[in-house]
Structure 1
């Protein structure tokens, strides 16, 4: 499969990441909602391991499954996984569908070390993580459902990657995520921007934030709030 085709947006990925990280998830969600995509927010429990962490980037999707037998073939496949990440050649978000498992840590320091060497700039894990102190120390952004010391071996393992996955949603049971969809996260949570909309959503959100900033300055100046609302409409 030529995965690289999923990571072409018309704007270089590093520039997309920089511009998205100057925004905030609430504004991005409002734009998606207005465009007819209200179900792009991930579950409310998916939060950064440190409050000030943010992430933005294209999804490299991973599906994991319970593995009570400790299947060595599944376990060793991760070598190929990180090689496939590296081959794409742009910053990525390690995005993990953990099959609703709630027992183990599905991400940790070694995943981050391997990931960073393969182009990963953050992780969204619909499950658990551990080694949190190392992740915080290294300022590596990880969003997860919970933290636990329990390791995944004999409990959970990689199944496949670069396939459509399903992460728990805020308004729907799951949100589909495809390779190359764009993830943006801050303290409020994570939104998924479909690949075909990445640039359009960015530009519309930048315009929205500019209007909000203008209105905010006028509110702060003591101007009549009724007139400001009339001027700018719904904010």
Structure 2
């Protein structure tokens, strides 16, 4: 089986370079390549507006679970082991099966996850323990905050499979292990694994072009001439 975390560029370099971009530029490149449906739902936002995330997805599927079955919940130990075995920095991506009752992420998840290589969490659901997450400066993107505990309401089911998160232009966006996540204050974009390097390079090129246009405007050049030279701005 192909390692989903092997790219033509080292993972840490990809993370650093994607973090230097922004979600709007990444989306524009994907849109131009014929992938317009890669933006997640508009209510999936950073808990702290300053947070920016970039990295490969480690996917997890959770399900409503009203019994509090400890055997089911204890499976998460194996999930954390699988996270560590990737050997790269990862983003914990959680498909919460459209549950809206509970917090699906919190400070303890962040603490254990960080020890296993997790650098951020992307949760299509709820988060809690916000004070501790802020103190740790551990980035979490989620749909809502709530104090409600997940025990007897929701539990871990499986991981490292293709999951579905709510989309901005479609009902859902599929995320597979190794897909690249890029998120900031504007929202989150999912870059398919096979396009990670191409999208990054085109995004950097787009930003360089934008910087040149800004410089020309700042120099006081005629806006009509700038537009004619560069076309779509």
Question: Hey, what's the Cα distance between the residues in 1 that align with 2:125 and 2:148?
Answer: 12
Shift of residue 120 of structure 1?
Answer: 0.4
Aligned with 1:149 (options 139, 147, 150)? 147
Question: Hey, what's the Cα distance between the residues in 2 that align with 1:233 and 1:199?
Answer: 26
Question: Hey, what's the Cα distance between the residues in 2 that align with 1:220 and 1:135?
Answer: 40
**Equivalent in the alignment of 2:226:** 228
Structure 2 residue 169 is the aligned partner of structure 1 residue 175:
no
Kindly report the root-mean-square deviation, in angstroms, between the aligned alpha carbons of the 2 structures.
0.7
Which range moves more in the overlay, 4-13 or 146-155? 4-13
**Equivalent in the alignment of 1:68:** 66
Question: Hey, what's the Cα distance between the residues in 1 that align with 2:231 and 2:11?
Answer: 33
Shift of residue 46 of structure 1?
Answer: 0.3
Secondary structure of 2:212's counterpart equals helix
Question: Hey, what's the Cα distance between the residues in 1 that align with 2:25 and 2:224?
Answer: 22
Aligned with 1:123 (options 118, 121, 124)? 121
**Equivalent in the alignment of 2:106:** 108
**Equivalent in the alignment of 2:28:** 30
Secondary structure of 1:123's counterpart equals strand
Shift of residue 149 of structure 1?
Answer: 0.3
Shift of residue 229 of structure 1?
Answer: 1.1
Secondary structure of 1:219's counterpart equals helix
Scaled by the length of structure 1, the TM-score of the pair is 0.98
**Equivalent in the alignment of 1:196:** 194
**Equivalent in the alignment of 1:79:** 77
Secondary structure of 2:4's counterpart equals helix
**Equivalent in the alignment of 2:214:** 216
**Equivalent in the alignment of 1:185:** 183
Q: How many residues get paired?
A: 233
Secondary structure of 1:5's counterpart equals coil
Shift of residue 174 of structure 1?
Answer: 0.1
Moved over 6 A (4+): none
Which range moves more in the overlay, 175-184 or 219-228? 219-228
